[in-house]
Amino acid sequence: MTTATLRTFGRGGVHPEPHKRETATFAIVDVPPPAEVWLPLSQHIGEPATPIVGKGELVKRGQKIAEGGATGVPLHATISGKVKPLDKRPHPTLVSAPAIVIAASGEPAELEWIEDPGWRRIDAAEALARIREAGIVGLGGAAFPTFRKLQLPPNAKVDTLVLNGAECEPYLTSDLRTMLEQPREVVEGALAMARLVRVPRVLLGIESDKLVAAPGLVAAAREALRVAALEGVGGVSFEVVPCEVRYPQGAEKQLVESLTGRRVPARALPLAVGVVVQNVATAVAIHDALRWRKPLLDRVVTVTGPGILEPRNLRVPIGTLLSHLVSACGGLRDDTTRIVAGGPMMGRTLPRLDLPVVKGLNGLVFLTGRGPLETGFGPCISCGRCLEACPLGLEPDQVSVRLEVGRTLETEPYGPLDCYECGSCSYVCPSDRPLMQFMQVAKSALRRAHETGIAR
């Protein structure tokens, strides 16, 4: 591990107030058992799961309750209890969607998880099957089914697994706490993935304000590599690489550039430059799935922000209602105005608290007072700050002024199609212009125009 110079990406980025202190030192605690969980059939990118349990059935925590289709993943009961009739429930991103509801009843027994002693030596097909059966999706927020991400196209040439521990969003500390408290699982999960995609090295990118987690990870890596060598599955290196604290350090493209110096082409995946990226919490889930065949049942959620009375890092069964998390954190202040699912840069606002925790929810930030965009926005004053902030070298100012006068198709040269919506431009705009939304609007309009042949 080197600490001499911090790695970082070449261009743009911003430095929002980190607000990590509110929760960084709080160990992950279990939320009190919820009385009910709502498990939406769609919690991932891909087709929704198909229920295999019926109304009134008693299920045990850990039991599979819905099958994943070709592109989706299965779903598991996260508490023991009785299945209620399948019904539509509020959903954090889909507004309302079918969910399996389980009401806690009887003793809270859980299926038993038996260690597979040979888990490090299983072949790739078996590993992928276990990962898929465990219902694992990317836990950094994207919720893309992990087995699909690890199932590389036959012609793919990869040489690096990047483990994303950057956690560049303000306020969130769930990945930090995971790295501090479960370094062995993080490392073992990562090494298992490296073996699965056959790469010789793992690079764990971590922002320099989280270096407190580095010694534990390095020690865990040394031990895991020793064991792996004994079992004859060595040949993978593991390096913890400190990166500059700079948003969006944790964006795939930026982290890959910081760690490997390779630039992922616009609109391409890191795969294009030989890299697979996985989040640290996903690595833990993969460890559990391979070693114990244990499905993804819980996740860590940072509940924080000025609106919550007692910020915490909670481990919660998936499907637990947000209102339950709020109760576990002392309740809300009266002046709470925004509930943000995820970090405040890229997270989405939620309208209500009777929503379930889904697999991709890494944080819940309660903000108070008036936020950006509530008082309208001003004209572009050409200050150039968005140009400086964009990590991709796009021109949100040009896109916005053209959209404002209805010249949508003329925005294409300024890059909206390449934008992955990190929000840095909106963050810095002194006129409060919703530049990221202008980029979104231009992007979807241009895509539609291309599809319908209006544009070239």
Partner 1 sequence: MTGPTDQPAIAPAPVATAQPAEPEAAPRFVIAPGPHVHAEDSTARIMWTVNAALAPAALWGAFVFGAGAAAVLLGSLAGALGAEWLAARALRRRATLSDGSAFCTGLLLAMTLPPQLPGWAALLGGAFAIAIGKAIFGGLGFNLFNPALVGRAFLMASFPLAMTSGWSGPRPWFGAPLDAVTTPTPLAALREHGLAAAFHAVTTAGSPWPALVLGFRPGSLGEGSVLLLALGAAVLLARGIVKLTIPASVFAGLALVTLAVQGPSAAALHLMSGGLWLGAFFMATDYVTSPSMRSGQIVFGLVIGALTGIIRIFGGYPEGICYAILIANLLVPALNLQFRPRRVALAGGTP
Footprint (CB under 8 A) of partner 1, residues 390-419: 390-395, 397, 415, 417-418
Of 8-37, which residues contact partner 1 (CB under 8 A)? 10-12, 14, 16-17, 29-32, 35-36
Tell me how far apart the alpha carbons of residues 91 and 171 are, in angstroms, rounded to a whole number: 23
328 binds partner 1 (CB under 8 A): yes
Q: Are 234 and 228 in contact (CB under 8 A)?
A: yes
Nearest to 328 by CA among 349, 347, 302: 302
Q: Which of 39, 332, 442, 445 binds partner 1 (CB under 8 A)?
A: 332
Q: CB-wise, 13 or 48, nearer to partner 1?
A: 13
For partner 1, give the closer residue by CB, 69 or 384: 384
Work out whether strand 363-368 and strand 348-350 pair parallel, antiparallel, or are unpaired.
Answer: unpaired
Facing residues of 356 across strands? 321
Helices (H), 198-353: 214-230, 252-260, 280-292, 322-328
Pairing of the two strands 336-341 and 348-350: antiparallel
Residue 422 beta carbon to partner 1: minimum distance, rounded to whole angstroms: 9
d(C-alpha 7, C-alpha 255), whole Å:
9
Q: How far is the CB of 294 from partner 1 (least distance, A)?
A: 23
**Type of residue found at 132:** R
Q: Which is nearer to partner 1, 139 or 429 (CB)?
A: 429
Residues numbered 195 to 234 that lie near partner 1 (CB under 8 A) are none
Q: Which of 430, 444, 447, 448 binds partner 1 (CB under 8 A)?
A: 430
| Given 334, 406, 451, 456, the residue binding partner 1 (CB under 8 A) | 334
Provide CB contacts within 8 A for 310, sequence distance 6+: 329, 330
Check binding of 76 to partner 1 (CB under 8 A): no
Specify the stretch interacting with partner 1 by CB under 8 A; choose among 118-126, 181-189, 277-285, 318-326. Answer: 318-326
Residue closer to partner 1 (CB basis): 151 or 431: 431
Residues 142 and 361 sit within 8 Å (Cβ to Cβ): no
Q: Name the minimum Å distance from CB 396 to partner 1.
A: 10
| Stretch of 61-69, 75-83, 152-160, 334-342 lying at the interface with partner 1 (CB under 8 A) | 334-342
- Output the smallest distance, CB 243 to partner 1, in A: 17
- What residues between 248 and 267 interact with partner 1 by CB under 8 A? 253, 262-267
Are residues 108 and 79 in contact, defined by beta-carbon separation less than 8 angstroms?
yes
- Collapsing DSSP states into helix, strand and coil, what is residue 336? strand
User: 93, 208, 237, 323: which one contacts partner 1 (CB under 8 A)?
Assistant: 323
**CB neighbour list of residue 101: distance below 8 Å, 6 or more residues apart:** 36, 37, 38, 39, 83, 84, 85, 86, 87, 89
Q: Is residue 199 a contact partner of residue 160, using CB atoms and an 8 Å limit?
A: yes
CB of 428 to partner 1, least distance (A): 5
The residue among 106 and 265 lying less far from partner 1, judged by its C-beta, is 265
Which listed residue (151, 208, 237, 431) binds partner 1 by CB under 8 A? Answer: 431
Q: Which of 379, 447, 448, 454 binds partner 1 (CB under 8 A)?
A: 379
Q: Which of residues 86-125 bind partner 1 (CB under 8 A)?
A: 87-90, 96
Total binding residues for partner 1 by CB under 8 A?
A: 92
Residues 271-310 that bind partner 1 (CB under 8 A): 272-273, 309-310
Q: Which of 93, 208, 237, 437 binds partner 1 (CB under 8 A)?
A: 437
List binders of partner 1 among 335-354 (CB under 8 A). 336-340, 344-354
| DSSP character string of 17-81 | ----HHHHTPPPEEPPPPSEEEEES--SSSSPPEE---TT-EE-BT-EEEE--SSS--EE-SS-E
Assess contact for 433 and 378: CB atoms under 8 A: yes
Nearer to partner 1, 217 or 341 (CB): 341
CB of 290 to partner 1, least distance (A): 30
Least distance from C-beta 301 to partner 1, angstroms? 14
- Whole-angstrom Cα distance, residue 146 to residue 139? 9
Q: Which residues within the stretch 151-190 sit at the binding site for partner 1 (CB under 8 A)?
A: 170
Query: How many Å apart are CA 66 and CA 339, to the nearest integer?
Result: 29
Whole-number minimum distance, CB 25 to partner 1, in Å?
12
Query: Could you tell me which of 422, 181, 139 has the C-alpha nearest to residue 301?
Result: 139
Nearer to partner 1 among residue 122 and residue 439 (C-beta): 439
Q: Which is nearer to partner 1, 130 or 312 (CB)?
A: 312
- Residue 330's SS3 state is coil
Residue with tokens 């992990």: 146
